[in-house]
Each structure stands twice: as structure tokens, then as C-alpha cells.
Chain A
Amino acid sequence: MDFSAYLAIAIFLITYVLIISEKVHKTAAALAGGCAMILCGVVKEEEALAAVDLEVIFLLCGMMIIVHFLAESGFFRYLAIRLAQMARGRPVPLLLLLCSGTAVLSAMVDNVTTVLLVAPVTFLITAAMGVSPIPYLIFEALASNVGGTATLIGDPPNILIASATGLTFNDFLFNLTPVAAVCLIFTLGAAVWAIRGEARVTADLRARIMEMDAPKAITDRKMLIKSTAVLGAVLAGFLMHGLLGVKPASIALSGATALLVLTRAAPSKVFKAVEWPTLFFFIGLFMVISGLVSTGVLERVAQGVLSLTGNSLLLTCMMVLWFGAIASALVDNIPLTVTLIPVIKDIIPAIAASTNTSVATVEAGLWWSLALGVCLGGNGTIVGASANVVVVEIARTNGREITFRQFLWYGLPVMLTTIVICSVYVFLRYIF
């Protein structure tokens, strides 16, 4: 390795330490790392900028705008209240419906947005019922991570993988949704176990839930109609994007633009709903990783992985799945995925050649292992996924503390069991 490779590693490690330690905002850390790669001459400016995946940026941005319109209409409030009323204010059915609803929503829109919108209503419903909101909130976060695993747009790592590999929305649907559904069933089982023995809610408290006037939660019917119609069209577009030959980013951006035109909302106001720090976090990370790629560092890492697993597809898949899961429980899964994607790209041809397996089979095993590992691994700890952090923060601002240990108590068993389920799934479907 030459000097620039060592420099790239140093910049990468410093960036990672800054992100993990939260000494500076993670977006600032990632951008600083990216700029350092250019300014130190590790990577050419045009190479670093070309590494910024606009597919990812525009897909995220488009979906953020669509969800903003949907949230403004009161849709999420309405849905959560209706779910509570369907459960007739009984704790177990309520928990199951809220978690299932969160998982399904998370599969269609971003996890963080989902929990941001569902958690406050959960607080309201549990307060009206006189039960603790904590298990509901924790399992909503866990369910959102499981639900997000199911689709291309559910969790940012999936968006990154799709963009890097050209895998379609339907590829994700066929390969990840079945196993995510199984994982969700297990998560719901764990949720029921968590609130076993929960005090029975009396009839008068249940009546409070039933008396909530759910239709009034919809504050802008016209916007609801427009935003659900556009979201529906966008989801249909995702299902057919392989056939249409249009990338998901263009579909999401078209949907967002359609809503801007249909609602005549001021772009300056709508764009405030875009999480710019998240988008620039991605931009910074792409630039940092471009330094590692151009200096051949990740190629060496890939060679290291292959020597560890002896070019075995099964061992490599398990390593990617478990390493991805454990690392995601400890650090942000977005930089982890950005780092692992080029490593896996380097590994694929070598394994295919040495095991005499088709590249498509190796690709399937490794990419789905990565997606499952990094998405579900986030459930392990309080810091493992953005949805967890958001739920904890919402609880804190409402005077309820969710401790690291408390989250771990529920999250770690769910994470370990779902990863075991995924290991079996990967083995049976892609290796066996």
C-alpha cells in the first residue's frame, strides 16, 4: 500500500470515530472526511464528486417530500387512532396493530418518518388508556426496522444497495419481504410477551379511545386525496420500474414534483421538510468511501475477507450477515453499508470463480445477506438505528426515560432471533 492508501485509511477512521463519538454532528463529520479526501489528494475532485450517488439522494429527497404532504393531511394521526379503535382499547391487540401498522408504513416510507409520526399518537393513546407507553414505543421502533427491511425504499441501506447493484423494487419484494414478514411475526410475538400481565384497561378508559373522533384527525381532505393518490402511483411505479426502465429515484422525484404542482404549495416551505442533514451525510460518506476505493484499500479488505472465509459462499454470506448485524447494532448502518458495498462488489467475482457458482447466485446470497444484516442489526441497541434514537428522544421529551439496558432487554433478543431466522433463510434460499 502506498502513502495515499494509509492517508485514506486515517481519514476514514477519523471520520468514523467522529461519527460514532458524536463529538461533532455526523453530517459535519462525513462532509469533513469527504473534503479531507479531496484536499489531501487521496482522490481526484471529479472522482469524489462523481461518487456521490444521485440516485440515492433524489430517491430519499422525493420520498421525504411525498411523506411531508401525507403527514400534513393528518393521515398518520387518523391511521393510528383507527388502529387503536380497531383494538377497542385493549393493550395486546393495540400493541399488535400499532406495531404491524408501523411495520407496513415503514416498508412504504422511511422508518424515522414513520416513528416520528406514530410515536406521539401512541403516547396519546396509551395516556388515555392509562398504560405505560414504553413497550409500545420500543416495539414500534423494532417493527419499523423490520418493516423497513422488506422493501427497496424501507430503509436507507436498501436504497444504497439497490442503487449500487441495479436490483429492482420487485427484487427486494420477492427476496426480502417474505423473510421480513416472518421476522415481524416473531417481533410481534416478543411484543405480546413484553406486555404480558399488563394491567387490564377498564371500560371507561377504553371508552375514551372509542370516543375519539378519528375522521377529524384528517385536517386536509384534499391534500389527503392528492398525496395518497400520488403515493399509490409512486408505489405502482416502483413495482413496474424494471419494466418501465425508469429508476426509483426518478419515480419518487416525479411524485414529489406532482404534489408540488397539484397542491401549489410553496417549495420554500415544502423543502424545509427535507432532511438536508441526512442527504449531506450521504454525500459526505460517498466522498469518503471514494477515497478508499480509489486507493485500493477496500480491494485489500475484500481479499482479507476471502482469505478468512476460504472463498466459501456460505461462510462469506454468514460473515456479511452477522458482521453487518453486530456492527449495525453498534454504529450507524448507513456508513457501514456505504463501506461494505464496494468490498462485496470485489468479493463476488472471486467467489463465483473459485466455487464454480454463477455470479447471479453469489450476488443474491451476498447482497441479501448484507441488506438483512444491516437493516435488522439496528434493532440490537438503542443506538443501532435512527428510529430507535428518535423514539427514545420522543419519550425523553415527554418525561419518560428509555434506558440503554431497557431497550437492550427487548431489542437484543429480537435482533439475534431475526438474524438466526435470516441465516436459515439465506442458507435455504441461496446456498442450499
Chain B
Amino acid sequence: MRLSSLLVPSHIVLGLRSRTLREATGELLRRVTAFHPNVPLSQILQALMARENQESTALESGIGLPHARIPSLNDFYVLLGIAAAPLEEKGIDAIPIDLVFLILASNEKHGVMLQAMAAIGFLAQESDRLQQIRQARTREAVWGFIAESGLELQKTLRARDLMRPVAATVQEDTLLGEALDLMVATKTNELPVCGSTGRVIATVSTQEILEAAFPHYLGDIHDITFLDDFEPVNQFFRSESSVRVREIQELRPIVVDPDAPILQVLFYLKDRHRHFAYVQDQSQLVGVIDRDEVIARVFRP
């Protein structure tokens, strides 16, 4: 199924005059023609804003992607609004939003919603096509450019659809203290360890740090409720400026191809009790898949 098959010209609005994404969303819902959902617009807007308030849905290249699942909705909708001037909100690449793709789905259609979102994510990579869309004078022309892109809704979600850029990497000889600083700065609990060629060779996470801090024999004892304090553990935490990542890293990172189906990635994450899978394209780290994020996007898109 093509993205252009879901987005009909009558669901495209040019020249949104709003200043914010919230206003633009409301304006788009009001101005779009041939849009007759069985749910009041106020309820739709409320659902969209509730989702937006959880976390911004903005992509890169000036695309906003407000979306919501509305259980009682009787159809699946993709709407597009093009703002006359950039909105106040910015995307993850700091470019102000001016293209508002709005997706509405019932619970049963949430799989299609994910696929449509992934397709729009691909469109965000095509800067020339986006330029054509922005410059189009009619909604038919806009639709034509989207149709020309030939973007299909993939039945299978793949790693590249749900990955995000890697915030930071470390090397094997990075000091534990530096790795900890990076984790705090990038608000993550795991960092990929890259070799000289940029390939992911290991990972270091708070789990590995704890495993290194607690001697192996404590694991064999299974329970340490009888201990209030234990000097060898304290000693480890005092040694962050002398311990190197190579001494504690986990040597079996989950590395997947960008085209790996999400099902496969989730299986690896489950099977290995890990939180992150690293997406590597021709030996180069191109993204990371966060288990919590995928679960949230699949179940609460």
C-alpha cells in the first residue's frame, strides 16, 4: 500500500496560519474538507494533544507528526497541513516545523498507523521532495509529489523505522568515570563501545558497572541481606578514574542490520535481557533501538 493511497488530496490543507503545533493541528482538523469522522473534533484534538504532551512527535526536516489512537474511530485518516510560516516548535534536528502530518486510527488499525508513520519518516529523509511539497501551489500538486515519491507502507517494520541516532559512544580505553559522565549527560544507561573502525564491539551499561562492582562470589551467595556494607564494593566505586571500559564491558552487543525486522530485534532484546540493540550499516553504527521506546511506540504510538 502506498502512502499516497492513504492521503487523499481533499485531506491536504495549504497555508495554515497558526503559530503553534497545537493551533495548527486544530486548524487542520477544521479546514480539511471531506473529513467526517464519527468522533467529535474536540475529542480528536484532545487525544492528539494528550499524546503530544507525553512526548513531542516531531521528526526531522520540519515535519510534525501528531497522531492518536481513538478506540471508537471508524476509519483510518492521514491529513497533511502545510504552514504558511514555520511554527514555534522544532524537530529533533532543530528545524522549525512547517509540515504537519496528522494520523488518526482506531485500536485495530494501529499497525497501519505505525507503517504510515515509518513511511513519513522515510519522506523526512528526502529533502528535495520535501522542498517540492513546500513549494507546491495546490493540494493536488502536493499529493502528486507524494505519489511520485512512491513511498510504500511496509508490512514489516524494520530496525531503520524505529531506530534513533546514537547520542554518544566510547572506546575500550575510555575511563569508567568518563563513561559515567557521558551516560548522565545523554540520559542513557548504556553506551556502545566502538572499535577504531567505528564498529560496535561491546557495550557498557549501568548493569556492567554493577556487575563489576559486586564480586562474582556475591552472586553465588544469592542473597546478601545479612550485609549492610561491603568494602570491596566501595573500593570499586572509588576507582572510576583508574578502571577502563575494557575491564567491564559486555562483549556481546546486539548488532542488527537496518533491514532487520523489528520482530527479530525484539526477540534478541528479550532473549538477551538487554535494553538496546545497535543498528549497523556496512560496519558503521547508524542508530540504536531502545527497547522501552519500541514498546511504547508499538503499544502507545
List residues of A whose CB falls within 8 A of some B CB.
74, 77, 81, 116, 119-121, 123-124, 127-128, 208, 211-217, 219, 394, 397-399
Contacts and interface: CB of A to CB of B under 8 A. Distances in A.
A394 B219 CA distance: 11
A58 to B, nearest CB: 28
A212 B217 contact: no
15 contacts: A74-B223, A77-B222, A77-B223, A81-B226, A119-B220, A124-B221, A127-B217, A211-B228, A212-B227, A215-B226, A216-B225, A217-B223, A217-B225, A219-B223, A394-B220
A83 to B, nearest CB: 14
A81 B227 CA distance: 11
A372 B31 CA distance: 96
Interface string B190-234: 000000000000000000000000011110111101111111100
B226 A217 contact: yes
A128 B228 contact: no
Contacts of A123: 215, 217
A387 to B, nearest CB: 15
Given A124-B227, A214-B226, A399-B216, 8 more contacts: A120-B220, A127-B232, A128-B230, A213-B226, A216-B225, A217-B225, A219-B223, A398-B216
Interface in B64-90: none
Contacts of B232: 127
Given A120-B220, A128-B230, A208-B231, A398 B225 contact: no
A77 B230 contact: no
Nearest to A122: B217
Contact of B226 (A212, A394, A397): A212
Q: Which of A124, A211, A212 has the most CB of B within 10 A?
A: A124
A214 B276 CA distance: 39
B215 A398 contact: yes
B226 to A, nearest CB: 4
Contacts of B229: 208
B217 A394 contact: yes
A398 B215 CA distance: 7
A397 B216 contact: yes
Question: What are the 3 closest A-B residue pairs judged by CB atoms, nearest first?
Answer: A120-B220, A123-B217, A120-B217
Contacts of B222: 77
A121 B221 contact: yes
A394 B218 CA distance: 11
A219 B217 contact: no
Contact of A398 (B217, B226, B227): B217
A213 B225 CA distance: 8
Nearest to B225: A216
Contacts of B221: 77, 120-121, 124
Nearest to B223: A219
Contacts of A399: 216
Given A208-B231, A213-B228, A124 B217 contact: yes
A214 B223 CA distance: 12
A204 to B, nearest CB: 10
B217 to A, nearest CB: 4
A309 B160 CA distance: 79
Contacts of A215: 226
A216 B216 contact: no
A78 to B, nearest CB: 8
A116 B217 CA distance: 10
A79 to B, nearest CB: 12
Contacts of B226: 77, 81, 212-217
Contacts of A217: 223, 225-226
A74 to B, nearest CB: 6
A216 B231 CA distance: 19
A211 B228 CA distance: 8
Interface in B115-129: none
Q: Which of B216, B223, B226 has the most CB of A within 10 A?
A: B226
A120 B218 CA distance: 7
A401 to B, nearest CB: 14
A128 B231 CA distance: 7
A216 B228 CA distance: 11
B200 to A, nearest CB: 26
Nearest to B227: A212
Contacts of A124: 215, 217-218, 221, 227, 230
Contacts of A121: 217, 221
A212 B224 CA distance: 10
A74 B223 CA distance: 8
A121 to B, nearest CB: 6
